[in-house]
Structure 1
Amino acid sequence: MKEDLSQKLLSLKKTFITLNELENIVLANNYDELRAIVNEQIADEVIMAVGKKNTNGLIPPLHLKYRICNTAEDLSPYFDEIRHLHPDLKISEYLANPHLYKMHRHIVLPLSDMLKTRSETLRHKMSKNERAYSIWHDEKMLDDSKAKSVIAFLEIAERLNYYLTPEPFFDFVLRSQKEMTVLIIENKDTWFTFRKLLTKNPEKCCLHGTQLDAVLYGEGNKVTKPGGIQAYADNVLSANVQFLYFGDLDFTGIDLFSRVCKANPGANIKLFAELYQDMLDLTEWDQLGQIRKKQKTDINMNGFLSFFSADHMIMIQELLKANKYIPQEAINYPILATLLQVNEG
């Protein structure tokens, strides 16, 4: 933890420390991590670089020598302030480590004031940004790495009683009810085609025997954000949701489905296999194009393929082996209108 490192450095009986000595204390996994940790200690005024040109020659560079900034500073004026903190804010630890308090002070003081004068506000749940603004008048404070570190040190995160705002998605909800079926669509054109047809004919929302209650545009990798789909179901729809997924039939599309499921282990997500079967059955294979962009091919397809019959499984494997693909735009407006049994007049 960053505070542990700060205390260790400040407790050393020396004025200077070399980069090699820092490396032995930090035990970073790689150079980028080492550089980030050293720069954090500089920003917290625990150490200070010595010599403008005295660097290690790497890019970005680190200095080879640092001054430990604990030698002459009198921190006793902070003791009375520390004693008047709210009792839940580790007063004894700060009295033992006043330099640590000095680093935390701009975060701890407003928190202490809130706990002493407005603790009842914690009974009411707020979003993370709302809670941050109500305490520090800075809505981004709880996103700050230093603030996160201080909150963890104080072991008070749960008490702050805030929720993470769910990722907003483009969606079209036909009906809200306790049990819903939501179709996640990979591409914008296909999502808009679904939305246009369902808006035009809201009563025609049964596809391959499945009634759709909403269609959601996944926006590429956005839909793979950890917990995003589950949060959308819990906080936006407030329903028990069966999710169906429909994307491109290529390596990237298959991998997206796997990643969506992995990112939302608590969500009920299945493949809308019938639409993929439509793509396989309705396209002319000799007219299919080659996968143009370089795609990651060493993906686990077992979960994806498990939704298909043996014949369609073989077709998909042969398609990909030939480096061909079918975009979901193959299910175009007139095809989807027919599948939905929508009369265009």
Structure 2
Amino acid sequence: MDIKYTFSTMISVDYYLAHPDMYEKDRNWVLMLNQYLKKHTDALLTPESLNERSFEIWHREKFLDREQGKNILILENKDPFFSMRNYLLNGHTEIFGAEIGTLIYGAGKGIIRSFQDFDLCAEPYMKHPENTIYYFGDLDYEGIGIYENLAEKFRSRWKIIPFVPAYQSMLETVNTKLRQAKQAAEDAFQVPQKYS
């Protein structure tokens, strides 16, 4: 892999060495950054706006502003939020097969109130029109109601859709546990051979 010996020491290549598929995907952008750092290190001493620096490196003003559409995942509950957050922080980029760029902790019904200020408070990349906003919460009356209220209230500005792979996984887990419980009950109530 060319990054092992030819890259600027200012670039940490550990992630790409561990994820060569991601390197192949990002290769052109990483090479442009590497070239910039090798030839224009002194330019980093001069403060510039995000857009100016982005244009210098990639010839695209909005590149560092994450101009590409991203998947944003809103999570109703704290436990899945922290689990998925740790998973992404450990170098993973996909959750249930979907590349996720940002997680938002919804805090139950609190997401409806806090999402009202999304346009004012969110980072610019989060408001990109090509973003997909997913929602994952409890699969009960209240959880479904939170999703429906959120999606309806903001539908004129954002399309918020259920994060189907997570719900499928939840249902598969429930089905597996039900099968195991059924089998355990059947095993517990079987009459031993010597008594039949």
Does structure 1 residue 214 correspond to structure 2 residue 102?
yes
Distance across 2 between alignment mates of 1:184 and 1:245: 5
Distance across 1 between alignment mates of 2:95 and 2:134: 12
SS at match of 2:74: strand
Measured against aligned partners, the alpha-carbon deviations of 1:168-201 in whole angstroms (never above 9, x if no partner) come to xxxxxxx951222111001111101111111112
Match of 1:305 in 2: none
- Cα 1:232/1:263, change in 2 over 3 Å: farther
SS at match of 1:184: strand
Structure 1 counterpart of 2:99, which letter? Answer: Q
Measured against aligned partners, the alpha-carbon deviations of 1:97-124 in whole angstroms (never above 9, x if no partner) come to xxxxxxxxxxxxxxxxxxxxxxxxxxxx
Does structure 1 residue 196 correspond to structure 2 residue 89?
no
Q: CA deviation at 1:268?
A: 2.0
Q: CA deviation at 1:251?
A: 0.5
Gaps of 5+ in 1: 1-174, 289-345
Q: CA deviation at 1:242?
A: 1.1
Match of 2:66 in 1: 177
User: How large is the Cα RMSD of the aligned pairs?
Assistant: 2.6
Q: CA deviation at 1:285?
A: 2.9
* 1:270-285 pair list within 5 angstroms: 270-283=161-174, 284-285=177-178
Distance across 2 between alignment mates of 1:229 and 1:287: 43
Match of 1:239 in 2: 128
Distance across 2 between alignment mates of 1:176 and 1:285: 46
- Percent identity between matched residues is 26
Match of 1:90 in 2: none
Match of 1:255 in 2: 145
CA contact (8 A) 2:66 2:125 kept: no
- Cα 1:206/1:254, change in 2 over 3 Å: same
Measured against aligned partners, the alpha-carbon deviations of 1:24-79 in whole angstroms (never above 9, x if no partner) come to xxxxxxxxxxxxxxxxxxxxxxxxxxxxxxxxxxxxxxxxxxxxxxxxxxxxxxxx
Structure 2 counterpart of 1:181, which letter? Answer: N
Q: CA deviation at 1:229?
A: 4.0
SS at match of 2:139: coil
Higher relative helix content: 2
Measured against aligned partners, the alpha-carbon deviations of 1:284-316 in whole angstroms (never above 9, x if no partner) come to 13789xxxxxxxxxxxxxxxxxxxxxxxxxxxx
TM-score, normalisation: structure 2: 0.50
CA contact (8 A) 1:229 1:264 kept: no
CA contact (8 A) 1:186 1:220 kept: yes
Structure 2 counterpart of 1:256, which letter? Answer: I
Structure 1 counterpart of 2:107, which letter? Answer: E
* 1:86-97 pair list within 5 angstroms: none
Distance across 2 between alignment mates of 1:219 and 1:232: 17
TM-score, normalisation: structure 1: 0.30
- Cα 1:286/1:232, change in 2 over 3 Å: farther
Structure 1 counterpart of 2:162, which letter? Answer: L
SS at match of 2:66: coil
Gaps of 5+ in 2: 1-63, 182-196
Q: CA deviation at 1:211?
A: 0.9
SS at match of 1:248: coil
Does structure 1 residue 186 correspond to structure 2 residue 72?
no
Q: RCO higher in 1 or 2 (8 Å CA, sep ≥ 6)?
A: 2
Distance across 2 between alignment mates of 1:228 and 1:285: 42
- Cα 1:282/1:258, change in 2 over 3 Å: same
- Cα 1:274/1:194, change in 2 over 3 Å: same
- Cα 1:230/1:213, change in 2 over 3 Å: same
CA contact (8 A) 1:176 1:213 kept: no
CA contact (8 A) 1:230 1:267 kept: no
* 1:49-128 pair list within 5 angstroms: none
Bigger Rg, which one = 1
Structure 2 counterpart of 1:281, which letter? Answer: E
Q: CA deviation at 1:227?
A: 2.8
SS at match of 2:70: strand
